Amino acid sequence: MTRPDDLFVDASAYHPPGKWEARAGNLLVLVVAGLLLLGGWMFKDWMQDQFRYLALAEGEIAIPYPPAWALQSDPTVDFRVVDPTGPGLFPAREEVRILALPEMPQPDAWTLQRVAALDDYVELSHKTLALGDGRPAALLEYAYAVKPPPDQGASLVAVHAIDLAFPARYEGEEKLVVVTLAAEASDWDRVRPTFQRILQRIVGKSVGW
């Protein structure tokens, strides 16, 4: 007796797909991969927009910093976090200094301090702006040279930095708060988007630099 299987042979299932069928399958794979990567891009943007905050005082501006960056103690600054994935000689960093309010206008006072403190200081741009609540602030972009420790065996490192200086209340007193965002000049392009996000959060709008 003939089995039904032998009578009804599904020939099409054992035949290679046609050219257009193969192309459609290929296109669907590309669509799936594209959708996943689009989701990945949105996830990356969302992750890069996640910050921890350094609170100065109740109701005062909170200073954001990347959550993955490592806290580093340094007596010359009040707060510093460094990018653990940055170059070994001078990893990208965010520093906060809380200083007494100067007598002279803030931008000039802070520029003079930087000129005095840094080697081979070169000012790249200098402008004043207003924070979201109308407070005046100074934005200073500059470059300088850092000499690494002798055991590192490297020559001078060129550093690109931006300072945002503004008055803020801290422990009941009016102070000058300076947020410094710095990185090796060769690493600047990589960390620039992160720095832009930090400044945008402090200033309350996009900062053109």
Partner 1 sequence: MSPDVSIHDIQPDDLRRIARNRRSFWAALALTAVIILGAGMVAGGGWWGWSQALSETLVWALHVGAAVAPGLVWLGFFALLEREDEGGRRVAFLLWIITAALYLVTVQPLLARVFQLDAWLFMGWWADILADFLIVAPLEMLLVYLILRYGVYPGETMRRLVDGPLFGVASALGAAAIVSLIAVWPNALFTPDDVLVAGERALGYAALGGWLGYALARNRFSRTPGYYLPGVFLLVVSLHALFYALVRGAHALAFAAPLYSGLVTAAILALLSFALLAWRVRKRNRAFLNMAARVEIAQERERPPSLLGDVLQMADARAFEGARTPPPPPPTSPTPPREEDELASLKRSWEALIAEQEEKP
Interface residues toward partner 1, by CB under 8 A: 5-7, 9, 11-18, 21-22, 24-26, 28-33, 36-37, 39-41, 43-44, 47-48, 50, 66-68, 83, 85, 190-191, 194
Rounded to 5°, the CA angle 183-141-166 comes to: 105
Nearer Cβ to partner 1, position 50 or 128?
A: 50
CB of 200 to partner 1, least distance (A): 17
CB-neighbour burial class of residue 65 (10 A; exposed 0-12, middle 13-18, buried 19+): buried
Nearer Cβ to partner 1, position 6 or 171?
A: 6
Nearer Cβ to partner 1, position 51 or 79?
A: 51
CB of 23 to partner 1, least distance (A): 11
CB of 44 to partner 1, least distance (A): 5
Judged by DSSP in three states, 129 sits in strand
* Residues present in the chain in total: 209
For residue 159, the cross-strand partners are 144, 184
CB 141 within 8 A of CB 124: yes
CB of 118 to partner 1, least distance (A): 26
CB of 13 to partner 1, least distance (A): 6
Residue 85: HSE in the Cβ half-sphere, 13 Å Cα cutoff: 6
CB 148 within 8 A of CB 154: yes
Judged by DSSP in three states, 52 sits in strand
CB-neighbour burial class of residue 86 (10 A; exposed 0-12, middle 13-18, buried 19+): middle
Nearer Cβ to partner 1, position 41 or 209?
A: 41
Nearer Cβ to partner 1, position 22 or 124?
A: 22
CB of 161 to partner 1, least distance (A): 19
CB 176 within 8 A of CB 102: yes
Backbone angles phi, psi at 173, to 5 degrees: -120, 155
Nearer Cβ to partner 1, position 37 or 55?
A: 37
